[in-house]
Amino acid sequence: MPRADSDNRMQPSRIVSPCEPQRASRALLRSLSALLLVAAVSLVGALALAGCQQVQGYSPVSLVRVIDASYNAPALDVYIGGSLVATNLGQGEITPYGTYGPTPSTKITVTSTQNTNALVSTTGTLQANQSSSVLITDINATYEVTLLADQSTPAPSGHSAYRVLNQAPSTGPIDVYFLAGTTAADYAAAKPVITALAVGATSGYVTIPSSTLYMVIVAAGTTLTTTSTSIYVSPAQTLTGGEVRTVLVVDPLVTSQPVQVYIADDVN
Domain boundary among 150, 178, 199: 150
Q: Which of 152-161, 191-200, 252-261 has the lowest mean pLDDT?
A: 252-261
Residue-wise pLDDT for 45-70, tens only, equals 443 334 434 446 668 999 999 999 99
Is 174 in contact with 148 (CB distance < 8 Å)? no
Q: Which three-class secondary structure state does DSSP give residue 172?
A: coil
CB-based burial label for 210 (10 Å; 0-12, 13-18, 19+): buried
Give the tens place of pLDDT for each residue, 97-108: 999 999 999 999
Shared-domain flag, residues 173 and 245: yes
Residue 69 lies in a domain: yes
Same domain, residue pair 38 and 116 = no
Same domain assignment for residues 109 and 216:
no
pLDDT value at 43 more than 60: no
Q: Is 43 helix (H, G, I), strand (E, B) or coil?
A: helix
Tell me: do 155 and 98 sit in the same domain.
no
Instruction: Tell me if 93 is assigned to some domain.
Output: yes
Confidence (pTM): 0.77
Give the whole-angstrom CA distance, residue 240 versus residue 158: 7
The two counts, helices (H) then strands (E), for the chain are 2, 17
- Domain boundary, last residue among 126, 150, 174: 150
Indicate whether 118 and 41 sit together in one domain. no
Over the Cα atoms of the chain, what is R_g?
31
Count of beta carbons in the 10 Å neighbourhood of residue 131: 21
Average pLDDT over residues 235-260: 89
Residue 5 lies in a domain: no
E strand map for 45-173: 62-68, 76-80, 83-89, 98-100, 103-112, 118-126, 131-137, 144-150, 159-167
What 8-state DSSP symbol labels residue 28?
Answer: H
Q: How far apart are CA 230 and CA 219, in angstroms?
A: 6
What rounded mean pLDDT belongs to the chain? 83
Structural domain boundaries, residue 122: 59-150
Residue 201 lies in a domain: yes
144 & 66 share domain: yes
Q: What is the pLDDT of residue 18?
A: 39
CA-CA distance, 194 to 16, in Å (whole number)?
91
- Looking at residue 100, which CATH number applies to its domain? 2.60.40.2890
pLDDT of residue 49: 38
Residue 145's DSSP bridge partners are 136
Q: Is there a single domain that holds both residue 111 and residue 195? A: no
- Give yes or no for residue 256 having a pLDDT over 50: yes
Segment 8-14 shows an average pLDDT of 36
Domain boundary among 133, 150, 167: 150
Provide mean pLDDT across the span 174-181: 97
Q: Which helix (H) or strand (E) holds 33?
A: helix 21-57
Domain-located, residue 229: yes
Confidence of residue 27 (pLDDT cuts 50, 70, 90): very low
Q: In this structure, is residue 3 part of a structural domain? A: no
Answer yes or no: do 99 and 46 share one domain.
Answer: no
Query: CA torsion, points 69, 72, 74, 79, in degrees to nearest 10?
Result: -40
For residue 134, is it within any domain?
yes
CATH of the domain at 180: 2.60.40
Say what the pLDDT of residue 177 is: 97
User: Is 9 inside a domain boundary?
Assistant: no
Least confident of 24-38, 176-190, 193-207: 24-38
CA distance 120 to 144: 6
Is the same domain home to 168 and 265? yes
Number of domains in the chain: 3
> What would the mean pLDDT of 235-256 be, rounded to a whole number?
91
Q: Are residues 77 and 124 in the same domain?
A: yes
Where residue 227 falls among pLDDT bands split at 50, 70, 90? confident
pLDDT above 70: percentage of residues in the chain: 77
The residue that leads in pLDDT, 128 or 13, is 128
pLDDT > 50? residue 152: yes
Distance CA 117, CA 170 (A): 30
